[in-house]
Amino acid sequence: MDPLLFLQLFSGLIYLLFGGDLLVRGAVALARKFHVPPMIIALTIVAFGTSLPELVVVVQATLAGYPGLVLGNVVGSNIANVLLVAGAAAVVSPLTYGEHSVRRDSLFMVTTSVLVVFLCWNGTLGLLEGGIMLGGLVLVNAITAREAARAFRDSELKAPLEWVLGLPTNMWVILLFIVVGAVGLPIGAKMVVDASVEIAAALGVSDTVVGLTVLAIGTSLPELATTVTAAVQKRTDVAIGTIVGSNMFNILAILGLAAAISPAPIAVPGGFFSLDFPVMLGAALVITALALLRRPVGRTLGVTFLVAYAAYLLLLGLRTQGLVF
């Protein structure tokens, strides 16, 4: 195996860490500049920026005819975002649900997760299913835009926001942070994914397994970088908003676009219904239940998430060997 692959992997991680730091700082600074709740920014700019790697990978995989990579990347990323990303961030600093919008959007996340399982029930995803998901994206964005407009009119939300040292105050610098961060994240993710795919290919695993593991983790690294950075800076509302917004975007926008542009219907492997979909739905339900109960994701629960993710990867490995499911 070429040692340069590991150098490429490390270099991509560096891009991701710096890109995530710049993006979250710019997002929080922008929220403070315009008196917008950080949650709204996290559910829009940050969620879109951190989902760009999934978007690029899925579009390429769709046009190249690798359906296992397409669905595996989206489902695997949504699982990793909750169990790996939220778990790691909670270990750094307990995650709290500071605003009403995150509870509402957590319900949206569960709804979109149930929707994609329902649409996959017949074994394929085509133009009709893609159109339904893209329509859901328009609806969610309209609701988020209305929430943002209400936030501007709400005097309580115009109070000064708490923030950490190091945030830019000049508008051009803020925009530079956001642009550089959003560009650096997908570049770093592509470097990580390219190296990881070649390493995985050398091991002889299927494209579905690569999508659920290597690609899912690789393209979730922006969420990990952004969320952990937000947790370190005590902006845990941004951390939760990034995870929830990214998971919705992955299903409605990325998978919806892939299904709409795919030359042939995307086949859904039967194994998804016995393991991957239940884990994705279970993770989304746990996050939503905690949001509705206003229970923080503490360090103990964060460790539990990480252990659950390791158990999922173990079961996935056993399934690959034909030992379970």
* pLDDT single digits (tens) 177-198: 888 888 887 787 778 777 777 8
Is the pLDDT higher at 187 or at 311?
311
Q: What is the pTM of this model?
A: 0.79
pLDDT in tens, 224-263: 877 887 777 777 667 777 788 889 989 999 999 999 998 8
Question: Facing residues of 267 across strands?
Answer: 124
Q: What confidence category does residue 148 fall into, taking pLDDT thresholds of 50, 70 and 90?
A: low
Determine the average pLDDT of the residues in 148-176.
62
Confidence at residue 109, expressed as pLDDT on a 0 to 100 scale: 92
The amino acid sitting at 321 is Q
Dihedral sign from CA coordinates of 163, 167, 173, 179: negative
First-residue to last-residue Cα distance in the chain = 32
CA–CA gap between residue 14 and residue 181 (Å, rounded): 12
Confidence at residue 155, expressed as pLDDT on a 0 to 100 scale: 44
Question: Is residue 83 a contact partner of residue 91, using CB atoms and an 8 Å limit?
Answer: no
Inform me whether the pLDDT recorded for 165 exceeds 60. no
CA–CA gap between residue 287 and residue 296 (Å, rounded): 10
Question: Is residue 195 a contact partner of residue 15, using CB atoms and an 8 Å limit?
Answer: no
Structure tokens at 171: 């508008």
Confidence at residue 157, expressed as pLDDT on a 0 to 100 scale: 43
Inform me whether the pLDDT recorded for 305 exceeds 50. yes
pLDDT in tens, 96-132: 776 566 778 888 999 999 999 999 999 999 999 999 9
CATH code of the region 4-320:
1.20.1420.30
Residue % of the chain over a pLDDT of 90: 29
Confidence at residue 325, expressed as pLDDT on a 0 to 100 scale: 66
Question: Is residue 311 a contact partner of residue 97, using CB atoms and an 8 Å limit?
Answer: no
**Best-predicted range by mean pLDDT among 152-156, 172-176, 237-241, 243-247?**
172-176
Question: Is residue 144 a contact partner of residue 44, using CB atoms and an 8 Å limit?
Answer: yes
Structure tokens at 225: 């970088």
CA–CA gap between residue 208 and residue 205 (Å, rounded): 8
**Best-predicted range by mean pLDDT among 147-161, 271-285, 310-324?**
271-285
Question: Is residue 212 a contact partner of residue 316, using CB atoms and an 8 Å limit?
Answer: yes
Q: What confidence category does residue 160 fall into, taking pLDDT thresholds of 50, 70 and 90?
A: very low
Determine the average pLDDT of the residues in 302-324.
90
CA–CA gap between residue 171 and residue 168 (Å, rounded): 8
**Best-predicted range by mean pLDDT among 37-46, 154-163, 269-278, 306-315?**
306-315
Is the pLDDT higher at 16 or at 300?
300
If you average pLDDT over every residue of the chain, what do you get?
A: 81
Determine the average pLDDT of the residues in 11-23.
78
Determine the average pLDDT of the residues in 153-169.
51
